[in-house]
Amino acid sequence: MEASRNGITNETMLAHAFVAPMRADSFYPPRLVQQIENTLLDLCREIETSKPASLTELYQVTRHATERINEMTSLFSALGSDFETVAAETIALDFQFIAQSYGYHDADIEQLVGYRTW
């Protein structure tokens, strides 16, 4: 299942290769990596739709996406994979890239993924 970029207008996000290091590593199940990408694309759409007016509002939006990814950790484990350092850093950096691409240059990476369990 390919990620849909429908509704996203940010040119940087349209061209970005989300979770590329995970996609390139056979340790990560492709369909679950795709689910993470879909979640990140949903985050982009949510930012474009809700247009958070402050970092506090942005962190509320990213919290929902983080919690959706949290729910996938058991699926990764069930398939013999894990959210180890490469996965955690890759996902967090994509959150930061998204924030910066939408003009939230002062967003703190730890706040963007503050509710992560990975």
The predicted pLDDT at position 83 comes to 86
Burial code (b: 16+ CB inside 10 Å, e: under 16) for 28-61 equals: bbeebbbbbbbbbbbbbbebeeeebeebeebbeb
The predicted pLDDT at position 100 comes to 98
Residue pLDDT, tens place only, 10-43: 999 999 999 999 999 999 999 999 999 999 999 9
d(CA 89, CA 47): 21
Judge whether residue 118 has pLDDT over 90: no
The predicted pLDDT at position 40 comes to 98
Judge whether residue 1 has pLDDT over 50: no
Positive or negative torsion for Cα 6, 9, 13, 14:
positive
Rg (CA), the chain: 13
Residue pLDDT, tens place only, 38-93: 999 999 999 999 999 999 999 999 999 999 999 999 999 999 998 889 999 999 99
d(CA 87, CA 118): 8
What's the chain's average pLDDT? 94
Helix (H) or strand (E) holding 110: helix 109-112
The predicted pLDDT at position 3 comes to 66
Has this prediction a pTM greater than 0.85? yes
